[in-house]
């Protein structure tokens, strides 16, 4: 059973999202639009009304993977500092307390301040109980890095490029049928 979401829309961080990323202690949830769902399976998973959380409706092992295209539009690069962005997949049973169970980092070396690169979330398999919420978030936890700039965000090189994509596949096993 598959569930897939993807978008070709560029999303510049709002000032508050950029402040959260630059605080080096906050997570910024990735937001989706209703039209981003390309393979829907409402028996297994469902996007919540805030368009940032997906709820698991059928327990079982899920394979999760994805990608984002990101531009830091870094505002400095002084002092030999680089920048980085981390995409994480988090789970919660109450929608308040989140635990990261998968992630990947994309470093932007010194001098790469305004360049789109793709960050891939490696395929991960996780057993998820019914009513578990999952979300995909961005963060920059290193306080000694260059801050993200005013046009930082999920972007593309060409208007036809996919800017973000995530897939959840419930793995059928006799233990979860």
CB atoms within 10 A of CB 111: 9
Ranking 49-58, 75-84, 126-135, 157-166 by mean pLDDT, the lowest is 75-84
Encoding tokens for residue 121? 């979330």
Distance CA 97, CA 172 (A): 28
Distance CA 157, CA 85 (A): 18
| CA atoms within 13 A of residue 28's CA, in its CB half-sphere | 25
What pLDDT shows up at residue 132?
A: 97
Q: 128 near 1, Cβ under 8 Å?
A: no
Question: For residue 79, what are the β-bridge partners?
Answer: none
Ranking 24-28, 66-70, 154-158, 166-170 by mean pLDDT, the lowest is 24-28
Split at pLDDT 50, 70, 90, the class of 76 is low
Q: 14 near 167, Cβ under 8 Å?
A: no
Q: 108 near 74, Cβ under 8 Å?
A: yes
What pLDDT shows up at residue 177?
A: 66
Q: 170 near 54, Cβ under 8 Å?
A: no
Full-model pTM: 0.87
**Exposure class string for 23-40: b at 16+ Cβ within 10 A, else e:** eeebbbbbbbeeebbeee
13-65 pLDDT tens trace: 898 988 888 887 789 999 998 889 999 989 999 999 999 999 999 999 999 99
- Residue whose entry in the numeric block shows the structure tokens 């990101």: 70
Q: 163 near 10, Cβ under 8 Å?
A: yes
Split at pLDDT 50, 70, 90, the class of 145 is low
126-139 pLDDT tens trace: 999 999 999 999 98
Distance CA 126, CA 170 (A): 10
What pLDDT shows up at residue 21?
A: 83
**What is residue 93's DSSP assignment?**
S
Length of the chain: 177
């Amino acid at each position: 059973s598959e569930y897939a979401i993807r978008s070709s829309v560029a999303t510049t961080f709002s000032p508050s999202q950029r402040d959260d990323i630059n605080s080096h202690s906050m997570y910024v949830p990735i937001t989706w639009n209703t039209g981003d769902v390309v393979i829907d399976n409402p028996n297994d998973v469902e996007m919540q009304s805030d368009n940032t959380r997906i709820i698991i409706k059928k327990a079982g092992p899920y394979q999760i993977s994805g990608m984002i295209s990101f531009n830091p539009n870094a505002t400095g690069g002084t002092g030999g500092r680089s920048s980085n962005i981390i995409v994480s997949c988090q789970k919660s049973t109450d929608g308040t307390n989140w635990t990261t169970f998968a992630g990947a980092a994309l470093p932007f070396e010194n001098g790469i301040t305004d360049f789109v690169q793709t960050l891939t979330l490696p395929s991960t398999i996780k057993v998820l109980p019914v009513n578990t919420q999952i979300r995909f978030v961005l963060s920059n936890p290193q306080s000694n890095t260059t801050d993200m700039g005013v046009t930082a965000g999920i972007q593309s090189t060409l208007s036809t490029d996919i800017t973000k994509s995530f897939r959840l596949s419930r793995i059928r096993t006799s233990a979860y049928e």
